[in-house]
Structure 1
């Protein structure tokens, strides 16, 4: 059946107002309060809420932790890697923290979970599945320059439910003195659940079965209870702090939480990015299924190697979570086996499980192998080696990232690129540096796939200065990749690949975000198509993204963005400033309206992204209101018929725009609008 989307209007509005001084209007209450914490906050309640208080980096952290002495705040722990403390907070402390110049942000100390995984029952040590999976990723007895590589001398911190300390396949590789239980706050990391023992086995078991890096050292850091619950952000950050302080080269995290799209509110993403300067950080993408944009936190962090799952035939596992992130980045980064993985478990036994929890440890193990082969390499060099040298499998970039993990290629193919994906956000060119660390000259040929979403941009629209060239040993070359967007293309997120072909093929995902004045909808998946005229019920991420552009040429005191609708729908929206930084976001359940206020207003083009997270019915009418505050005030109302699928030949769009100047000065508006149906 042939379907299309109703196309809304996009407005490119230039605002020109006289210069005038004016007092700022009140911003949203509690500007320093992260949105997840704001959801928990009730000014009438004195119930203490677990929080993480983040300090300003420019003031120097060591002396600040003692400066927080506010009624209603109880301090608990220092979190050095992100200049923060954890504690509890009640409503009496809100205003004091809001006015404290030392405080950057107050975050909710949220709870993380183990992704649900499929337990196929206890196995014998002779079940060969783990060895089969290790062969699938090219990690069977790897070598480099004629020497055996097994991860010897490399420390892998497994941040999980702990470990069976006397398991015969794990005890020899366990550094018990460096291990710790952050849930119970003691030095005994004994696993009462099993998940940590299982993931550790995939990394570095040695005995009845062998893990990916059987010579690596395991540092077991317990953050979950024996029931597999209760891990908090602060516990995980403390574990990461401990791992870095005790010399871990690789951090392996098979855990997650609902993604937080707003970087200011994602203290875990900041932690991972800070840790990635000192160690390779590997995170599972999650088991949320095949919807768009459902990779969990901390898998959304730019500093993590985020891992999805494939089966033994290299097909994407049905449970493996997809990207992209809310700001258009590719996630997961790479794929590894995650279906029916045989590994160690409690009672000195073995078990076969499925889930991305068991995919991430394969990458952690390969990171240990690469570090063993190249002990002087930095975490970033190891990351590039792993992501630049993968095997091709079927799937879109937001499903599979760079492709299937290949340990042998990561160890031996000393060619890499400095970017693990190319993200075109309203830019037409990106520079990529290709480095040949081989001892010989290599010839390269660069090609591109088509870029696709609901439409296709032909690969002929992607070019570079020279598609064929050679690199001598230990040299680098800059490649400028240029994209030309053809006329008539819908706005949205398009993805594809750049291929750098030599003895091995380097595959680099490409993400292109288009905003135009003719159409704003990108239907990124057709999951909801059925045999009716509409998808009458949506219970998971629809995956549609819309983009609006507002060009601000005057310095306003504040801008307020408001999205409203009728019905039990969950619609999120995000605002990017002219520097392409995510300024703010709303992800509040089904509450309408949702509002964002920006007080540090930059001149230039703002991008508004709208994302229907869940819809009770379709079509849905939503409204954007944009208010600017200065001596002259203008409010803009933009309405569109949204989220409805109709047959071709019966498309329509209904748009109304109202402008009101309530200020004392004159205001000149130059609106441009085009309605389009497809």
Structure 2
């Protein structure tokens, strides 16, 4: 919903007195050594541990904006401070053009950038459509009673991770969105509440702690990851922990929302989150058209929010963003922050893996592959603020579905860096060798990323390797009760390590003789040949 305002134009110096949004950037951080010598003043221990685990050093971007600079800007005539960013060493301010330009007289000011590009462009949409009541439940063969959410998980082979208890436990996801009403009361979120998996949040729009407010878009988004209602909706990361940050104001489209997003991302970093998921995007349709972005801005280095998202990744966080819903529009390309180089931009497919018509396309303006990957965003199963289970359309939902699965994968590989996990997701995708502007690298296979194959042949015979990673033994389960299978385990150098015949009644293979590491297997039985990876812990 948007609010429309009527402006009365007066034949006086309107331009001189109109309020403009701008970013003022500073050229120094005089107190940096004090903070860098005492990092706990800037970051939580969990945040510092994430840096240590990924060999990421602290630097000047971690240091807060100089307080004396903020005080002097705040005291300047006609200037209001709306947000700040330590990563970009900048303040988002509002004032007359003349008052903003006067700030250049401060020796500590590096530059001033107006949101109105005619003075020196930005759009955002919450990528959501209609929600409709679901009348039929889907059958599922996995352990979780996914209900109607089965397809959006099984499409990614995510049930394989869940079956091995990789459900996001121990990973922390920050959701940056439009609001979260009902998360504190609705039944599908009760499991999150009962297990203290909502760690906190903040409403950056209203500047208060009531984050169970605002538009319900964030509620729908969260339900695809953390929702839990058996035989109706199970999220992709039901055991992850969540911070909920409201950064978008449904009533208007304003550049301040980009700055609030970056401010929230910085808070998420300081709290030690692992993943940021955001179903917001900025391109066209701002309340003031002069704030709109252009396609040429989608280069990963122009938009304030994209710069912030890239910095979040540099801190060891995985950032997942909706590609956008403009695929059928005159300007069909991905928006910001999906254009950022390291952000995982998620497009939408239907239940049958066809590209959703509305899903925005690539490439980025500088020719990079975008979107990066795809998940179900047409008729995705969600919960609304009242706890009603329904479907909704948009990359708003393919994005968090993907983010939840990434949390599960990272749980399975806790020593991997954010760069390594990101690359694992891409390499498991079905178009990795032949990416294109509609699908990017395609639809990931999270079971394959884990080294687990989950196979169903034309006769509906299933094949499963678990647990994986394994400590002492692994089971090669297959549904044909009469077959004997041959299993061979090879080292990464191709040396045969184990060869054994197993049966469907006794499918266990001991790994006691193997050292810890990565191995490959071949599995052969009548009509079925499979290969894959096994990790011995």
TM-score, structure 1 length as denominator? Answer: 0.52
Secondary structure of residue in 1 paired with 2:426? helix
The question of 1:346 aligning with 2:385 is answered yes
The question of 1:74 aligning with 2:45 is answered no
Q: Name the CA shift for 1:396/1:318 in 2 (closer, same or farther; >3 Å).
A: farther
Q: CA deviation at 1:288?
A: 0.3
Of Structure 1 and Structure 2, the greater strand share is in 1
Q: Is the 8 A contact 2:276 2:319 kept in 1?
A: yes
Q: CA deviation at 1:474?
A: 7.3
Per-residue CA deviations over 1:163-182 (Å, capped at 9, x if unaligned) read 22222222432544521111
Per-residue CA deviations over 1:543-599 (Å, capped at 9, x if unaligned) read xxxxxxxxxxxxxxxxxxxxxxxxxxxxxxxxxxxxxxxxxxxxxxxxxxxxxxxxx
In the alignment, the residues of structure 2 paired with residue 311 and residue 254 of structure 1 have an alpha-carbon distance, to the nearest angstrom, of 18
Q: CA deviation at 1:393?
A: 9.2
Per-residue CA deviations over 1:648-675 (Å, capped at 9, x if unaligned) read xxxxxxxxxxxxxxxxxxxxxxxxxxxx
> Which residue does 2:308 correspond to in 1?
271
Per-residue CA deviations over 1:354-382 (Å, capped at 9, x if unaligned) read 11111101211111112211222222122
The question of 1:193 aligning with 2:215 is answered yes
In the alignment, the residues of structure 2 paired with residue 303 and residue 242 of structure 1 have an alpha-carbon distance, to the nearest angstrom, of 19
> Which residue does 2:202 correspond to in 1?
180
Q: Name the CA shift for 1:402/1:264 in 2 (closer, same or farther; >3 Å).
A: closer
Q: CA deviation at 1:331?
A: 0.8
Q: CA deviation at 1:345?
A: 0.8
Q: CA deviation at 1:214?
A: 1.2
> Which residue does 1:106 correspond to in 2?
113
The question of 1:83 aligning with 2:89 is answered yes
Q: Name the CA shift for 1:191/1:77 in 2 (closer, same or farther; >3 Å).
A: closer
**What pairs with 1:447-466 in structure 2 (closer than 5 Å)?**
none
> Which residue does 1:157 correspond to in 2?
174
The question of 1:54 aligning with 2:25 is answered yes
> Which residue does 1:247 correspond to in 2?
272
Q: CA deviation at 1:318?
A: 0.6
Q: Name the CA shift for 1:389/1:412 in 2 (closer, same or farther; >3 Å).
A: same
Q: CA deviation at 1:410?
A: 2.7
**What pairs with 1:350-365 in structure 2 (closer than 5 Å)?**
350-365=389-404
> Which residue does 1:237 correspond to in 2?
262
> Which residue does 1:65 correspond to in 2?
70
Q: Name the CA shift for 1:331/1:413 in 2 (closer, same or farther; >3 Å).
A: farther
Secondary structure of residue in 1 paired with 2:229? coil
Q: Is the 8 A contact 1:52 1:87 kept in 2?
A: yes
Secondary structure of residue in 1 paired with 2:242? strand
In the alignment, the residues of structure 2 paired with residue 235 and residue 125 of structure 1 have an alpha-carbon distance, to the nearest angstrom, of 40
**What pairs with 1:10-29 in structure 2 (closer than 5 Å)?**
none
In the alignment, the residues of structure 2 paired with residue 237 and residue 141 of structure 1 have an alpha-carbon distance, to the nearest angstrom, of 34
In the alignment, the residues of structure 1 paired with residue 172 and residue 218 of structure 2 have an alpha-carbon distance, to the nearest angstrom, of 16
Q: Name the CA shift for 1:219/1:45 in 2 (closer, same or farther; >3 Å).
A: same
Aligned residues: 385
Q: Name the CA shift for 1:413/1:229 in 2 (closer, same or farther; >3 Å).
A: farther
> Which residue does 2:50 correspond to in 1?
none
In the alignment, the residues of structure 1 paired with residue 216 and residue 362 of structure 2 have an alpha-carbon distance, to the nearest angstrom, of 29
Q: Is the 8 A contact 1:191 1:226 kept in 2?
A: no
Q: Name the CA shift for 1:160/1:255 in 2 (closer, same or farther; >3 Å).
A: same
In the alignment, the residues of structure 1 paired with residue 490 and residue 187 of structure 2 have an alpha-carbon distance, to the nearest angstrom, of 42
Q: Is the 8 A contact 1:156 1:218 kept in 2?
A: yes
In the alignment, the residues of structure 1 paired with residue 493 and residue 358 of structure 2 have an alpha-carbon distance, to the nearest angstrom, of 40
> Which residue does 2:35 correspond to in 1?
none
Secondary structure of residue in 2 paired with 1:203? helix
Secondary structure of residue in 2 paired with 1:281? strand
> Which residue does 1:257 correspond to in 2?
282
Q: Is the 8 A contact 2:431 2:440 kept in 1?
A: no
Secondary structure of residue in 1 paired with 2:99? helix
In the alignment, the residues of structure 2 paired with residue 62 and residue 188 of structure 1 have an alpha-carbon distance, to the nearest angstrom, of 26
Q: Name the CA shift for 1:189/1:439 in 2 (closer, same or farther; >3 Å).
A: farther
Q: CA deviation at 1:100?
A: 4.5
Per-residue CA deviations over 1:406-455 (Å, capped at 9, x if unaligned) read 221233389xxxxxxxxxxxxxxxxxxxxxxx993168xxxxxxxxxxxx
The question of 1:221 aligning with 2:221 is answered no
In the alignment, the residues of structure 2 paired with residue 91 and residue 407 of structure 1 have an alpha-carbon distance, to the nearest angstrom, of 51
Q: CA deviation at 1:92?
A: 1.8
In the alignment, the residues of structure 2 paired with residue 125 and residue 166 of structure 1 have an alpha-carbon distance, to the nearest angstrom, of 25
Q: CA deviation at 1:305?
A: 0.3
Per-residue CA deviations over 1:480-532 (Å, capped at 9, x if unaligned) read xxxxxxxxxxxxxxxxxxxxxx9679xxxxxxxxxxxxxxxxxxxxxxxxxxx
The question of 1:328 aligning with 2:335 is answered no
Of Structure 1 and Structure 2, the greater helix share is in 2
In the alignment, the residues of structure 1 paired with residue 213 and residue 151 of structure 2 have an alpha-carbon distance, to the nearest angstrom, of 26
Q: CA deviation at 1:238?
A: 1.7
Secondary structure of residue in 1 paired with 2:92? strand
Secondary structure of residue in 1 paired with 2:281? coil
Q: Name the CA shift for 1:439/1:179 in 2 (closer, same or farther; >3 Å).
A: farther
Secondary structure of residue in 2 paired with 1:275? helix
Q: Which stretch has the larger CA shift, 156-165 or 222-231? A: 222-231
Secondary structure of residue in 1 paired with 2:383? strand
Q: CA deviation at 1:93?
A: 2.7
Give unpaired runs (5+ residues) of structure 2. 1-12, 33-63, 139-146, 284-292, 454-488, 495-516, 520-529
> Which residue does 1:210 correspond to in 2?
234
Q: CA deviation at 1:347?
A: 0.8
TM-score, structure 2 length as denominator? Answer: 0.64
Secondary structure of residue in 2 paired with 1:377? coil
**What pairs with 1:432-471 in structure 2 (closer than 5 Å)?**
440-441=491-492
Q: Name the CA shift for 1:157/1:75 in 2 (closer, same or farther; >3 Å).
A: same
RMSD: 3.4
Give unpaired runs (5+ residues) of structure 1. 1-41, 415-437, 444-472, 476-501, 506-678
